[in-house]
Amino acid sequence: MKKYIYYLFILNIFWITSCNEEFMDRYPQTSIAPEEFFKTEQDLQLYVNGLLSLPGTFEYQSDQSSDNLATTGAVEIKSILTGSPSSQNVIVGWNWGRLRNINYFLENSRKANASLEVIQHYEGIARYYRAIFYSSMVKRYSDVPWYEQLLSPTDEELYKGRDSRETVVDGIMEDLAFANEHVNADVATGTPGNWAVKVFYARFALYEGTFRKYHDELGLQNTADTFLQKASEIAKTIMDSGKFSIYNTGNPDNDYKTLFNSQDLTGNSEVILFNAYDINKDRSSNVNTGVFGTYEQSPARDLVQSYLMADGSKFTDKPDYDKFSYVEEFKDRDPRLYQTLVYPGWVRVPESSPYIPILNRNFSGYYQHKGYSNTTDNIELGSLDFPVYRYAEVLLTYAEAMAELGTLTQADLDASVNLLRNRVGMPALMLNEANTQPDPVMMSKYPKVSGPMAGVLLEIRRERRVEFAVEGYRFDDLMRYGAGKLLENIPEGMYFSGLGKFDLTGDGIPDIFLVDKSTDIPEDKDKEVNELGKLLIYYKTGTIDDNVTVYLENGENGGTMVTEVSPRNFIEPKYYYRPIPVQQVALNPNLEQIFGWE
């Protein structure tokens, strides 16, 4: 029992220091000597389990930072694009407490009376966590100080400047290589094992390889292929293991959706690591909070338009596709669209009739139901598991890395992207067709893509956006593509041709009535009734400056629903990175700002 008290005391001290922005300038003192705790394998296991930090269901809302969602929230990138950002007001993120917790373990783990194999397993997990920590720091700041040992207030290293991106990334890759070699595959459910390590290893290698390739400001393009080769190599190792497969029961209308509204992902062939939630065990996911509704986030029309037609043709090839109504744009599309967003005719429990989307100010009109449990059962609502790593990511990592390297074959596509398409009954992606007929809309979005593989690479990017929609991948993808300029586009919503009555359920019968801003909405007894005997829902319509409920681009003359109007400006390359908070530079003048930040 005394040993557990030591353990909890140590972690409590670490938690306190991790909440301190000036952590690296303080050396937390503890009366518990390491030799009093790090004695057995169980001690190592307890400490490493205390470091466990898995992404959760909030990831379904993190796409607010990308072009997938509109948001009224105080999202950092939106504030940067519309404001005057500097090191004085962009002040979050420079927190090193978790790194100290990890390094503390690595410095003391060899004191345990356990086999070298056991020690290296737990060290591997800790180094995997350190790689994740530093990968987030590199994504945010590029060059950061690299620390792999504990420091005291008298250590000069504590006040050093930034290490180069190359140095830090080399450290990350060394940590991942060690973890890949030593972490066991057989671990407790809900904790990362060797296969989880491999997924992140491939993920980071792809990120760094593509980031270097598409960011001239780094001057590291000639090193990009090394990372892309590593990404394809690790992904192929997972694929060749035969341990995982795309979840596919032959039900294209539900199999994809099942991954995100499951009460238990144990045994799912596609899920490599998941975050288990169970409200009965005080582990509530609260997944439905903020996902469905008009409170803060709403899917953007640009996301809707990125999905292909069910026959594999491009939605954006259709004449006047940008003027399609809500009902029209959902017809005959990739089934993942219906399993991600609320579609015309969708029924919300406990109702028996189709749901009529509620329109609101600064809202797109679209609703997300991926990750939403369509039930009134509170136990089920709070107990949805979250898939942290999916085999789908492995397949798309492999396909993208091979395409970037210029070595992708049709056989590679059939073993990766086309398995995902097959799950939802979509036609296969054909290499030659994609490369000879690149999508002009996609080319306009990603002008940096070129070469003989450009067409298929663009389609892989589409596939990635669709497959991982609202799972939190999109912002990182835009950053590594060097496509930050896409964030200048203000998210738009549903299109309406003007004032009048509109069908939103797909039955051809009007459900809502858009009226002019000067019109008084009548009492229920005076409202029109549709053919089903239901009152039409009235909305005052105008521009964003009017006192109305529905903002349209051209007011009474129609257009897309407006979510905001503040101009956005993405300054390249500056906004691919963040400044070090001014307080930290004052404490350590060796920390210099880069890429034009002040």
Write a three-state SS string for 147-215: CCCCCCCCCHHHHCCCECHHHHHHHHHHHHHHHHHHCCCCCCCCCCCHHHHHHHHHHHHHHHHHHHHHC
Distance CA 126, CA 110 (A): 13
Sequence-separated contacts (24+) of 112-119 with Cβ below 8 Å = 112/38, 112/39, 112/40, 112/41, 112/43, 112/44, 113/39, 113/40, 114/40, 114/41, 114/44, 117/182, 118/41, 118/44, 119/44
Q: Which of 476, 439, 473 is nearest to 458 (CA)?
A: 439
The predicted pLDDT at position 289 comes to 65
Which of left, alpha, beta for 342 (phi over 0: left; psi -120 to 50: alpha)?
beta
Residue type at 350? Answer: P
Look up residue 48 and give its two tokens.
């490493």
Residues 6+ apart with CB under 8 A from 72: 296, 297, 362, 563, 564
The predicted pLDDT at position 204 comes to 99
Q: Are the C-beta atoms of residues 314 and 473 closer than 8 Å to each other? A: no
Alpha-carbon torsion, ordered 86, 89, 93, 97, to 10 deg: 120
> What predicted TM-score, i.e. pTM, was given to this entire model?
0.94
Alpha-carbon Rg of the chain, whole angstroms?
Answer: 26
How many C-alpha atoms does 413 have within 13 Å on its Cβ side?
A: 20
Can you tell me whether residue 512 is helix, strand or coil?
Answer: strand
The predicted pLDDT at position 288 comes to 66
The predicted pLDDT at position 284 comes to 80
* Residue spans per domain, the chain: 498-557
The predicted pLDDT at position 166 comes to 98
Q: Which residues of the chain have pLDDT under 50?
A: 1-31
